[in-house]
Structure 1
């Protein structure tokens, strides 16, 4: 059983936030608003991989859910805009319950399975996981204690 006083760095192996994810209803409009505000080019908005590639699981069950994503590199931090489809996912559930706005903060980790198990030992359950080109992700239910979802990102070596 993990020690209740373990630091985030000892659980995750890092305390460096790499990304903030924001849920939106209209990604094209919101991405353009960010681009205009920061005086940068609007990034492309692309769909996540199909379910057969992404192997998405939501609340322990396979999910066909996809989302349109746009990424802004903001120095040491990446801003991710997320427009989910209607299929069951943490994105859709959170957008329906909380409206547009922050969904997660992300951390790059090594040893995803171990990190997920450590967090589950802290009563932070796995909400959703999947694959992307070059790695995998896991959304952990940290909302009760930390008021936002944590996303773990593990990139292939």
Structure 2
């Protein structure tokens, strides 16, 4: 059985933090690995970021740890409206999403919305696109869909 997404392989866990530099240093020390470069999401004109159906200037500082089959993403949001900022304000620091690589973003978004999991935020990144679906009520965490462009 393939479920709603076509696979059940979690590719990433996203954690919201107030200070990505401090927390990424703590993870690096904890695991005895190099601290990753801190990146920042693209501006709205590039990322085409939408939150609750409206364009938003929201950006976030990101740190990615590749942990074997799973990637750990640390997210420090700015103060513009976003799933990251809203969730951090409501829940504090901690897990925000589990992510899955999927194919057919529009179809998967429509399928999940039809099951009562509305789109919360979407945007583009170099090489693909993402969508956060609001699965919190049932799954206690958001689900992020990642679709990478074909090479």
1: CA distance between counterparts of 2:5 and 2:108? 6
Correspondence 1:154 to 2:138: no
Deviation of 1:102 (Å): 0.1
2: CA distance between counterparts of 1:63 and 1:153? 20
Equivalent residue number for residue 3 of structure 1: none
- Give the secondary-structure state (helix, strand or coil) at the position aligned to 1:138: strand
Residues 87-146 of structure 1 show CA distances to partners (whole Å, capped at 9, x for unaligned) of 000000000000000000000000000000000010000000000000000000000111
1: CA distance between counterparts of 2:135 and 2:13? 15
Q: 1:69 aligns with which of 52, 62, 81?
A: 62
Correspondence 1:27 to 2:20: yes
2: CA distance between counterparts of 1:82 and 1:10? 28
Residues 18-70 of structure 1 show CA distances to partners (whole Å, capped at 9, x for unaligned) of 00000000000000000000000000111100110000000000011000000
Structure 1: runs of 5 or more not aligned:
1-6
Structure 2: runs of 5 or more not aligned:
none
Deviation of 1:10 (Å): 3.1
Aligned pair count reads: 150
Relative to the length of structure 2, the TM-score reads 0.98
2: CA distance between counterparts of 1:22 and 1:104? 7
Runs (4+) of structure 1 exceeding 2 A deviation are none
- Give the secondary-structure state (helix, strand or coil) at the position aligned to 1:10: coil
Equivalent residue number for residue 80 of structure 1: 73
Equivalent residue number for residue 4 of structure 1: none
1: CA distance between counterparts of 2:145 and 2:34? 28
CA RMSD of aligned residues (A): 0.7
Deviation of 1:11 (Å): 1.4
